[in-house]
Amino acid sequence: MRKTPVKILLVTVLAAMFALFLVACSSGSGSSAASSEAASSEAASSEAASSEAASSEAASSEAASSEAASSEAAAPQNAVLRISTTTSVNDSGLLPYLQPFFEEDTGYQMEVTSAGTGAAIEKGRTGDADALLVHAKASEEEFVNEGFGVERVPFMYNYFVIVGPEGDPAGVANCATAADAFKAIADAGQTFVSRGDDSGTNKKELQIWEAAGIDPNGQEWYVNAGQGMGATLTQTAERQGYTLSDKGTFLSNDAKESLKILLGESDDMKNTYTMIAISPDKWPDTNIDGANAFIAWMTGDKASELIAKYGEEEYGEPLFYLIEK
């Protein structure tokens, strides 16, 4: 008699968990449509608020310079633009740096979320973003081919760097290519910390291992950290090992105090950043106008100038280079 309630409880809880799981699974189709709907209505209300603010501002400054009013772009229909990007872009501070210029010029409000490349692209698939700014060619092509993205717009690049301890016990600094460097690390049995999170950097790293003809998985010296670039760099510094990083994140991370760039700018370490507008065919609610405005602005002269300058002041060199048009 005592056991029956326990059984009922068990069944109830399992059923509840099952229901929860079904809800989670269906988010790929039905429920996220609802959520994007909610997001768009939210956007509409905030747009109303902003246009109201703009009009009252215009009224008060009517007598003042008309120049200010004209430089303020007319508020677009759907003012909220959701950009999903990778941690490396966000951690480098590029988007926060560009954001006020973009918003002033176009009247859009940028909402940036950052995650590993895998998750960043997945947000495009689930309709939770209007534009992507990522760096993983194969995944991007797959994404566009599936019809989720309009087209890939590569617009800037930088180089991955191999960072390691000052002493460089594996002799990476003397290598010509990244593949050679990885081989040297493996031969010396030096600790290599991998992001292991399916990010663009992680994918690049795995390509280089493949090019070097080495399978690092399960090796004692190969540490699969399963974390973002920042945390991976911290772990590399603590372990005094090697890792592959994008330059921007490394230069802005405290790890640079006990690690140094040992190899950079070799051809097999080029890192190209691409923008993709989410196709309205898959997600009708997506802010395609905003996405197009973002891509146009980012590839325009003003943004090019800003990007080319970014990082020079702080690190003595630009963090990103523009692809020549």
Answer for which of 11, 17, 34, 64 binds another protein (CB under 8 A) is 17
223: contact with another protein by CB under 8 A: yes
- Residues 163, 255 contacting (CB under 8 angstroms): yes
- Two tokens at 64? 């003042």
By rule CB under 8 A, what string of x and - marks binding of each residue 105-144 to another protein?
----------xx-xxxxxx--x------------------
Answer for which of 1, 4, 6, 316 binds another protein (CB under 8 A) is 6
Least separation, in Å, of the C-beta of 278 and another protein? Answer: 15
Size of the site for another protein (CB under 8 A): 39
- Residues 111, 294 contacting (CB under 8 angstroms): no
Nearer to another protein by C-beta: 14 or 53? 14
Nearer to another protein by C-beta: 17 or 38? 17
The interface with another protein within residues 224-253 (CB under 8 A) comprises 224-228, 231, 235, 237-240
Beta strands in the chain, from DSSP E residues, in sequence order: 80-86, 109-115, 131-134, 149-165, 192-194, 222-224, 243-246, 259-264, 270-278, 321-322
Nearer to another protein by C-beta: 78 or 235? 235
| Cα–Cα distance for residue pair 40/299, rounded to 1 Å | 26
12: contact with another protein by CB under 8 A: no
Burial class (CB in 10 A: 0-12, 13-18, 19+), 46: middle
- Residues 78, 290 contacting (CB under 8 angstroms): yes
197: contact with another protein by CB under 8 A: yes
